[in-house]
């Protein structure tokens, strides 16, 4: 299911009355998103190759044969991660970015509200605020990446 993008439409029959929102009204249009075609157009794989990331991964011991031995792809298929990726690609980037704000506020509240009277509470404060902060940052970065993938050609 592709995300719906909001569009403004002009209403020819609109006339100023004592009620009414204005000359434009909000509608929506379905946008088809094919993540793999977008990645192909942006030449992501060739950019990864040029950047030397594969060589660095191999230096760290991560090779295609090690991935094959671990059974990463078959496990991802069993767990349905590819369909999850497809569903995630249909999310609205603005929803992801909007969800990041309350999580960021919760991280700040964790720092403010959890007392730092003992070492244990400081650790709890750091873990909770850190996890929430990383989650908010992940949502923001995800919204930017997803917005780039979903932008019209």
Tell me: the pLDDT tens digits for 52-88?
A: 888 888 888 888 788 888 888 888 888 888 777 777 7
Sign of CA dihedral 128, 130, 136, 141: negative
Q: What is the pLDDT of residue 54?
A: 82
Q: Where are the beta strands (DSSP E) in the chain?
A: 4-10, 24-30
Residue 82 pLDDT? 76
Q: What radius of gyration do the chain's Cα atoms show? A: 23
Predicted pLDDT of residue 32: 59
126 Rama sector, left if φ>0, alpha if ψ -120 to 50, beta otherwise: alpha
Q: Is the pLDDT of residue 23 over 60?
A: no
Rounded to whole angstroms, what are the CA distances from 57 to 2, 21, 62?
Answer: 34, 56, 5
pLDDT of residue 4: 58
Q: Where are the domains of the chain?
A: 34-90
């Amino acid at each position: 299911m592709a995300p719906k993008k909001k569009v403004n439409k002009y209403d020819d029959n609109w006339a100023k009355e004592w009620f009414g929102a204005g000359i434009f009204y909000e509608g929506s249009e379905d946008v088809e998103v094919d993540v793999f075609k977008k990645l192909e157009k942006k030449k992501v794989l060739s950019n990864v190759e040029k950047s030397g990331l594969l060589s660095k991964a191999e230096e760290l011991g991560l090779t295609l044969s090690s991935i094959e031995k671990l059974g990463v792809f078959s496990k991802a298929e069993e767990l349905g991660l590819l369909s999850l990726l497809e569903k995630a690609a249909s999310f609205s980037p603005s929803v992801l970015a909007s969800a990041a704000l309350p999580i960021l506020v919760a991280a700040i509240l964790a720092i403010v509200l959890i007392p730092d009277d003992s070492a244990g509470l400081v650790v709890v404060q750091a873990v909770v605020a850190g996890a929430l902060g990383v989650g908010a940052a992940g949502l923001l970065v995800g919204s930017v990446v997803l917005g780039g993938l979903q932008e019209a050609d």
